[in-house]
Structure 1
Amino acid sequence: MDIKVIQNVQEENIPKIIGVYSDSESELYAEKVNVLKEKKRFTGKFGEIYHVDNDEELFFIGLGVKEKITAEKGREISAKIVKELAKFKIVKANYYVFCKCNKIVRGVIDGLYLGNYKFDKYKTSGEEKFKIEEINLVIDKDLEEWVSQEGISLAKSTIIARDLVNEPANVLYPESLANRVKELGKEHGFEVEVLGENEINELGMESYMNVARGSDNPPRFIIMRHMGDEENKDEVLGLVGKGLTYDSGGYSIKPTPGMVSMKSDMGGAAAVIGAMCAISDMKLKRNVVTVVAACENLISGNAYKPGDVINSMGGKTIEILNTDAEGRLTLIDAVYYIINKEKATKVVDIATLTGAVLVALGTTRTAVVSNNDEFFNCLENASDKADEKIWRLPADEDYKKLIKSDIADLKNLGGKYAGSITAGLFIGEFVGDTPWLHMDIAGTGWTDAPKKAYDHKGGTGVAVKSLYYLAKEE
């Protein structure tokens, strides 16, 4: 679907979508709306949709009280209306947005794209796959053009992340993920470098390579660079995404139901890749380097085992208590690399890391562990702009004691309590004094039960927008 943002309607003879507030006169078709309100067939209450198909086809959508309209409401109602258009097999429509708020317009654009999202490429039934071709979004002439460009880029980048997560693991494995990133780099304008097994070993990434050892699909270390601020080359934002393209749990094997969705264990990688697409699209004046340590966690005679002691690029030794606590083992080498080799001055790592985060926060909020109050405040502001909820977890010295090993420097499991905190602090052992944020999206990166009209079963694309706004405004 294409969205064209316009200020003057060129095609009148196509269906129209008219936003109506419950507490004010409609700016279009006021007489019809007033009649509907008087007869209580349509009141403008938020979420209402009324379809008229007489001399012309109209969809009135309820926006609620004018002063209470938000970007999130714009996102939700726009996702609903695009699904309504699909019911009536409407391929093109004019959508009149009576709003002068940049954030709300971005929310509307987001809702149209995400509400129209499907992942059905592997369905082979004879049914024709209906597609909405074009929405002409009619906005106020005072709104700046970059607002719509940014909204479209963010929505499309979120869809890129969703698609990556939803691809089955036999299609998306480390090498094919690296190839896809190369294609995206060419499309969006960021530099891509991919390291193979020999180069990864030369860097001393023993922790990462131990996780990768059990699979016949070799690992790929993917580096993306957007150097948008030549005047401040020493300031680099580093983004690190967990890239387990499949996770069986290794010898600490998961039960079958827990493995079915484990193609999603690269949701962190998808988020940083999507964010890089938007960052480059909008040519942000910021230096951003992104890395993904892509691999599979499988079982073989060569796989690492519970009880092993392994090394890391950062030089700290690790006692393996559970091979299903593997994501943090890949992330520590990736984080250490981005700080020491790419010279990142601030770092965010993002991962579908722990089941414990679902117990703590459910599927509503992303958990955050940080060593820097100011940097966390920047992320909080960015997530507010993105309408993506976060929650900071405590990270004091008492929790750090839980990951100390009797026979090595660290152990990769902190015990049955505070699992999300200890997992984050394990990664934090490798960042030194660099301002750092850890985001655990195990609860927010995937949904089996969509709650919003713009949700879709599978990957959510969460944090693409938050990371973009962090890069833009931090």
Structure 2
Amino acid sequence: MEVRLTNRAAAPARLITCYEGEQPCTGDLPRLITQLIREMAEGEAFSPKFGTTLVLTPGQKEAPRHIVLMGLGKAEEFSAEKARKLAGRAFKEAKKLKAVGLDIDSAPLNGKIDSLELGRALAEGAMLASYKFDKYITGRKDNPVEAVYILGEGDALSQGINEGLALAEATNLARILTDEPANIMTPAHLAREAEEAGAKYGFEVQVRDEAGIRALGMEAFLAVARASDNPPRLIVMRHMGDPDSKEILALVGKGLTYDSGGLSLKPRQSMDGMKGDMAGAAAVIGAMSAIAELMIKANVVGVVAACENMPSGKAFKVNDIVGSMAGKSIEVLNTDAEGRLTLADAVYYAVAGEKATRVLDIATLTGAAVVTFGKITTAVLANDDAFYAKLQEASELAGERIWRLPHDDESKDLIKSDLADVRNTSKDGAGTITAGLFVGDFVQDKPWLHLDIAGTSWLTGEGDYNPKGATGVGVRTMFHLARELNK
């Protein structure tokens, strides 16, 4: 499907919008159609509250044959996120109508938000809503909507649409990687996908095998990986878009392509969905793709420690004490708290090996994050207020909600070990906080952000522009963060 800017309405379906207390903006529609829309908008079947939808089929042969009337709510409350949701909902209505094209008039939306931001949000909403992972279904039906046309003009709107398409494509790439079953998406396969993305979008990719990982001294990472027949891979991606700067942002994604829990074996119902335990890694690959494609003036390195956590005679065990690339010892008290071990080596490598000056890690790390925030908000820990402020700006631009959790010494006491430098589980609650603090213990005091996407990476039902399954959360936020840091 394509999304493009045009000044000529000719699609069989047209989105007409209406703010509370105002008449619907019908543009160049014929007088009789305009009258019908206004009558319906004033009737009991429609409310101008945001998201309320009414579909009209006037019966005319010429375009538009279908009118999708949608409420926008209060004009002063319109936002980029509402534009994103609007485009997603409109696409879904056009798909139900089996319309080959959909026109979205930007005129009533322009001026409420910046034109560039509007174009980006509309393109994102439409393209993100069009995603469906159905490659293994025989007889699957193709999307009937071939194009979404944004009616309007101007360089800013055009630039926004182009950016939105790139960001949606990168987000959909992350969704595909996460939705793939674990018998396909092994660590080696994920590495190949990263290499293909690098070749397509223009960033450097280096992959280390098990011997290369061992040479780096990544003992914590290898402890998790050693029970699986699918060997681990360390994936490093580089976009050096500002060679005159010494600032390097590291994006580190958790890459557990399957997590059985290891010897602390998960119950069957908890294993369902564990193919998605590499959603952080997928988001980093997606973000690197968008950063490179849009040629962001920033130095960004992506790091993924990809492996499986499986039970076998070679598996690491509860009460083991394992080393790490940082030289710190780790007491293992739960083999199902494995992601933080792989991240410990990955974030340390990002600083020691790639000279990162700032570090962000993103991971499906704790069930506690799901309990606290559900599927809507990503939990964040940060050791630097200015860095977190930039993340807030980026998340608002992306329409991805975040919430900062405490970063305090009292919580650090909960992961102190009597036998090693640190333990991999909390002594007493605060699961999301202590898991993040464990990872933060390996960033060598660099400005650091930790995003726990255990809840937000996966949906059990469809959203306005998010599908059932992988959401690709984090891709757009990380893209905007990389750009905002260099402004």
Q: TM-score range by the shorter chain?
A: over 0.9
**Deviation at residue 431 of structure 1 after TM alignment:** 1.1
Q: Does 1:107 align with 2:115?
A: no
Q: For residues 46 and 442 of structure 1, what CA distance do their matches in structure 2 show?
A: 29
Matches within 5 A, 1:404-443: 404-443=416-455
Structure 2 partner of 1:4: 4
Q: Where do 5+ consecutive residues of structure 1 fail to align?
A: none
Of 336-345 and 14-23, more deviation after overlay is shown by 14-23
Structure 2 partner of 1:36: 40
Q: Does 1:237 align with 2:249?
A: yes
Q: Does 1:303 align with 2:308?
A: no
* C-alpha contact 1:24 1:66 (8 A) present in aligned 2: no
Q: For residues 128 and 140 of structure 1, what CA distance do their matches in structure 2 show?
A: 34
Q: Does 1:52 align with 2:26?
A: no
Counterpart amino acid of 1:319?
E
Counterpart amino acid of 2:156?
L
Matches within 5 A, 1:56-135: 56=62, 57-59=65-67, 60-98=69-107, 99-100=109-110, 101=114, 102-124=116-138, 126=139, 128-135=141-148
* TM-score of the pair, normalised by structure 2: 0.93
**Deviation at residue 83 of structure 1 after TM alignment:** 1.3
Matches within 5 A, 1:288-299: 288-299=300-311
Q: For residues 449 and 35 of structure 1, what CA distance do their matches in structure 2 show?
A: 34
Change (3 A) 1:341 1:62: same
Structure 2 partner of 1:463: 474
* C-alpha contact 1:357 1:442 (8 A) present in aligned 2: yes
* C-alpha contact 2:13 2:94 (8 A) present in aligned 1: no
Q: For residues 456 and 141 of structure 1, what CA distance do their matches in structure 2 show?
A: 31
Q: For residues 271 and 180 of structure 1, what CA distance do their matches in structure 2 show?
A: 13
- Residues 356-400 of structure 1 show CA distances to partners (whole Å, capped at 9, x for unaligned) of 112222222111111111111111111111111111111211111
Identical columns (%) = 48
Structure 1 partner of 2:337: 325
Matches within 5 A, 1:278-289: 278-289=290-301
* C-alpha contact 1:214 1:298 (8 A) present in aligned 2: yes
Structure 2 partner of 1:202: 215
Counterpart amino acid of 2:59?
N
**Deviation at residue 322 of structure 1 after TM alignment:** 0.6
Q: For residues 383 and 13 of structure 1, what CA distance do their matches in structure 2 show?
A: 33
Q: For residues 18 and 39 of structure 1, what CA distance do their matches in structure 2 show?
A: 16
* C-alpha contact 2:309 2:338 (8 A) present in aligned 1: yes
SS at match of 1:4: strand
Q: For residues 393 and 36 of structure 1, what CA distance do their matches in structure 2 show?
A: 47
Q: For residues 392 and 83 of structure 1, what CA distance do their matches in structure 2 show?
A: 34
* C-alpha contact 2:381 2:405 (8 A) present in aligned 1: yes
Of 132-141 and 340-349, more deviation after overlay is shown by 132-141
Structure 2 partner of 1:147: 160
SS at match of 1:414: coil
Change (3 A) 1:74 1:50: same
Change (3 A) 1:262 1:43: closer
* C-alpha contact 1:23 1:66 (8 A) present in aligned 2: no
Q: For residues 213 and 354 of structure 1, what CA distance do their matches in structure 2 show?
A: 22
Q: For residues 76 and 275 of structure 1, what CA distance do their matches in structure 2 show?
A: 21
Q: For residues 62 and 356 of structure 1, what CA distance do their matches in structure 2 show?
A: 37
* C-alpha contact 1:72 1:104 (8 A) present in aligned 2: no
Q: Does 1:173 align with 2:178?
A: no
Q: For residues 176 and 13 of structure 1, what CA distance do their matches in structure 2 show?
A: 41
* C-alpha contact 2:119 2:159 (8 A) present in aligned 1: no
Of 309-318 and 393-402, more deviation after overlay is shown by 393-402
* TM-score of the pair, normalised by structure 1: 0.95
**Deviation at residue 53 of structure 1 after TM alignment:** 3.6
**Deviation at residue 459 of structure 1 after TM alignment:** 1.0
* C-alpha contact 2:122 2:161 (8 A) present in aligned 1: no
* C-alpha contact 1:92 1:132 (8 A) present in aligned 2: yes
- Residues 46-86 of structure 1 show CA distances to partners (whole Å, capped at 9, x for unaligned) of 22232224214132332233222212222222212211111
Matches within 5 A, 1:214-229: 214-229=227-242
Of 24-33 and 435-444, more deviation after overlay is shown by 24-33
Q: For residues 213 and 371 of structure 2, what CA distance do their matches in structure 1 show?
A: 35
Q: Where do 5+ consecutive residues of structure 2 fail to align?
A: none
Q: For residues 220 and 42 of structure 2, what CA distance do their matches in structure 1 show?
A: 69
Change (3 A) 1:38 1:306: closer
**Deviation at residue 271 of structure 1 after TM alignment:** 1.1
Aligned length: 469
Structure 2 partner of 1:356: 368
> Please, what is the CA RMSD of the aligned residues?
1.7
Of 22-31 and 421-430, more deviation after overlay is shown by 22-31
SS at match of 1:238: strand
**Deviation at residue 20 of structure 1 after TM alignment:** 3.2
